Amino acid sequence: MHSQNHDNQTEGEKPTEDSVLDRVMSESQSLELASAKPSKVVTAAVNKLRDRERDVLIARYGLDLSHTDKETLESIGKKLSVTRERVRQIENAALKKIAKKFSAALKPLWKIVDVYLTMHGNIADVDFLIDHFKLSQSDNLELEKNALRLAVAAYTEVYPIKKHVDLKAGWLGDNVKQADILEIQKVAVGILTKSGEPLPEAVLVDQIVGQAKNMSSALVKGALRVGAKLGMDNKNRWGLTAWPLIVPRRIRDKVFIILETAGKPLHFEEITKLIGQKFAHDRQVLSRTVHNELISDERFVLVGRGIYALSTWGYAPGVVSDVVKEVLQQAGQPMKIGDIVDEVLKRRQVKRNTIIANLQNRSLFTKVAKATYDLAQRAGEGSAAAN
């Protein structure tokens, strides 16, 4: 059903009923049919199984809302007083029963999976499927992922990717060779290593297609998504998982990603909260730890009370009086108070009155005309020269 022949059609061939166009056109219909979340559809089917079959699938796939961790065959076997091999048999039998008896309920989900497979060379992994289902912001993301895993596992048109150190867990459709996926990833790693920085998907795919023979762009896109050494940054550019901005391991790198994604200065408490949301599977981070990282890393600059920005955004470090001095120095002449305030606010998040109050520091600034200020040192030098 998921033959890749349509990816390799020559210009003279006519598309079949199973063409890309037909599948893409059906996506909107499938989304309507699958208005229920995967967890609801899958749970309804699982609850119709025999008790032991139901219990095994719930435990194996983490379908309990209060406990979404997936259990091992061994731990389930101990609970049921059976061997791990017997648990595996029960699981496989239950999946076959779902595929046969409850296919009507799961078919809307499978149709959406079909569309994704067509767009990605008959290769899929659960994280990108979740994005395709538009469930990334779900309140119960892990539950939805686990339900989707079970739905795809019960789909007879795909089979699991064989375990490999360079591959993430996922599924393949017809006519996909694992060797081709590994070859694509090898080429991708070489291109990215040479580049030394993340690349937009279109750029990377074009380069891979140019180097890897007989590989369609759809196949390349799918292969990238199951690569253990590959990942996307917050701007949807591909890079290597060894790079800290692709898979951040240090808190300061996570802070950088949060600020870059936000595109605006944030309070360190808000940064801490967003780190907890984005990197939910990592160890909890304390706000004081985040604050310490913000203080010690030159990539970040204090722009207000507890508020930090990226230094590349043009915000100036230092206290407000330092920023005012810098503004006047760069101007090279006295400035109207309104212009000074506007320039400072481009670099710091402070109240207007705070800027005006700093201008009253006579040791640093002096009023040279109505609502006009200059650096005290420069104004003094001008007066001395005049005398």
158 close to 204: Cβ distance less than 8 angstroms:
no
Residue 338 has pLDDT above 70, yes or no: yes
Packed helices 217-225 and 201-211: angle between N→C axes, nearest 10 degrees: 110
Q: Of 79, 45, 89, give the one whose Cα is nearest residue 63.
A: 45
Q: Supply the pLDDT for residue 13.
A: 43
Element (DSSP H or E) covering residue 256: helix 251-262
C-alpha span between 114 and 110 (Å, rounded): 6
Q: What is the CA 63 to chain-centroid distance, rounded?
A: 24
The answer for residues whose C-beta is within 8 angstroms of residue 265's C-beta and 6 or more apart is: 259, 303, 304, 307, 308, 309, 313, 315, 349
Helix (H) or strand (E) holding 333: none
Would you state the structure tokens that stand for residue 340, as one six-digit string? 């000074």
| Residue 177, CA distances (Å) to 23, 180, 181 in order | 23, 5, 7
Torsion of CA 165, 169, 173, 178, to 10 degrees: 0
pLDDT in tens, 162-213: 999 999 999 999 889 999 999 999 999 999 999 999 999 999 999 999 998 8
Long-range contacts of 314-322 (CB under 8 A, 24+ apart): 314/346, 314/347, 315/265, 315/347, 315/348, 316/347, 316/348, 320/344, 320/348, 320/350, 320/354, 320/355, 320/358, 321/358, 321/361, 321/364
The residue written with tokens 């939805």 in the block is 144
Encode pLDDT of 110-163 as tens digits.
999 999 999 999 999 988 998 888 887 778 888 999 999 999 999 999 999 999
Q: What six digits make up the tokens of 179?
A: 């060797």
Q: pTM here?
A: 0.70
Question: How would residue 23 be classed by pLDDT, with cut points 50, 70 and 90?
Answer: low
Note whether 191 and 177 are within 8 A (CB): no
The pLDDT-based confidence of 12 (bands split at 50, 70, 90) is: very low
Mutual angle of helices 51-61 and 141-153, in 10-degree steps? 120
pLDDT for the residue 279: 85
CB neighbours of residue 202 within 10 Å: 10
Looking at this protein, which amino acid is placed at residue 189? V
Matching residue, tokens 């791990």: 84
Which pLDDT tens digit goes with each residue over 207-243?
Answer: 999 998 889 999 999 999 999 999 999 889 999 999 9
> Cα–Cα distances in Å, from 107 out to 100, 135, 151, 354?
11, 18, 9, 62
DSSP code of residue 7? G
The C-alpha atoms of residue 277 and residue 293 are separated, in whole angstroms, by 18
The answer to whether 42 and 151 are in contact (CB under 8 A) is yes
